[in-house]
Amino acid sequence: MDRKSYEKQLVGERAADYIRDGMIVGLGTGSTIAFTIKKLGERLKRETLNITCVSTSNQTSELAKSLGIPMKELNEVSHIDLTIDGVDEFDPQLNGIKGGGGALLFEKIVAKASKSNIWVADGSKEVDILGAFPLPVEVLPFGSQHTARAIREKGLDPKLRMDGENPYRTDSRNFILDCHIGKITEPERLSQWLNALPGVIENGLFINIVGKVLIPEGDNDVKVIGK
């Protein structure tokens, strides 16, 4: 296993300790949170853990169901106690970019419905300023070239995400524009500008959403950043 995968496993598995009896839990998407989900599956075999989980993607639903994790639709739960998710980049204010795996829309809806949020991140995700990772923006396929043009005119260098020969489709069948920005100096303002454009469904900036980020420390420790 390479170093990055090792770090993902380390923090991903540790995050499963935050799940307690009686909780309604949001399960994020991606390769790091997959370790959390697998660890949760193991815990459920050993412990009496009365929990319900909601998913942020088809990929996560399939994995969780295959491990016997009790799942409900988001509309079937009154609230979410805790959501654990991965992240593509986070800064010292614990703002981040998500959506590298295309799940940003459901992830943001679930995160906003959660009383608390934790991110799990390998060491490469910690940055001073967001934006080296291309910002995913989910857009309606209808008129997407015009939406992209408006974003390009703002200097945000959007590229349509592809899946082989065809545009990549999210779980909601939308397109993703990956915006190569470089440095995002005013994330909140940018997020508001993007979401006000007709055709934009949601963008991958997650601002003031998480309270804690788990990252690797040394060879096999985990550091908790935040409260």
Ligand X SMILES: O=C[C@H](O)[C@H](O)[C@H](O)COP(=O)(O)O
Of positions 7, 13, 81, 88, contacts ligand X by CB under 6 A? 88
Chain-centroid distance, C-alpha 13 = 17
Measured on CA atoms in the order 161, 27, 18, 41, is the torsion positive or negative? negative
Task: Report the distance separating Cα 160 and Cα 103, nearest Å.
Answer: 16
Joined together, the tokens standing for residue 220 give 């096999």
Of positions 100, 131, 134, 216, contacts ligand X by CB under 6 A? 100
99 is in an annotated binding site: yes
48 is in an annotated binding site: no
Stretch of residues binding ligand X (CB under 6 A), selected from 30-38, 45-53, 142-150, 208-216:
30-38
Q: Does 101 bind ligand X (CB under 6 A)?
A: yes
Phi, psi of 209 (to 5 degrees): -110, -40
Look up residue 62 and give its amino acid. E
Stretch of residues binding ligand X (CB under 6 A), selected from 26-34, 41-49, 58-66, 178-186:
26-34
5 is in an annotated binding site: no
Task: Report the distance separating Cα 16 and Cα 40, nearest Å.
Answer: 6
Q: Does 26 bind ligand X (CB under 6 A)?
A: no
Min dist. Cβ of residue 3 to ligand X (A): 14
Q: Does 29 bind ligand X (CB under 6 A)?
A: yes
Q: Does 98 bind ligand X (CB under 6 A)?
A: yes
Task: Report the distance separating Cα 64 and Cα 92, nearest Å.
Answer: 31
**Strand 24-27 vs strand 52-55: parallel, antiparallel, or unpaired?**
parallel
100 is in an annotated binding site: yes
Q: What residues does 80 pair with on adjacent strands?
A: 114
Joined together, the tokens standing for residue 123 give 């060491």
Give how many residues touch ligand X by CB under 6 A.
17
102 is in an annotated binding site: no
- Residue 87: name the closest of 41, 127, 138, 55 by CA: 127
Min dist. Cβ of residue 135 to ligand X (A): 12
Min dist. Cβ of residue 46 to ligand X (A): 25
- Helix or strand run (H / E) with residue 149: helix 144-153
**C-beta of residue 85 within 8 angstroms of C-beta of residue 119:** yes
Catalytic residue among 7, 107, 138, 202: 107
Q: Is 188 a catalytic residue?
A: no
86 is in an annotated binding site: yes
For residues 107 to 136, the per-residue mask of contacts with ligand X, x marking binding by CB under 6 A and - elsewhere, is x-----------------------------
Q: Which residues bind to ligand X, rule: CB under 6 A? A: 28-32, 85-88, 98-104, 107
Catalytic residues: 107
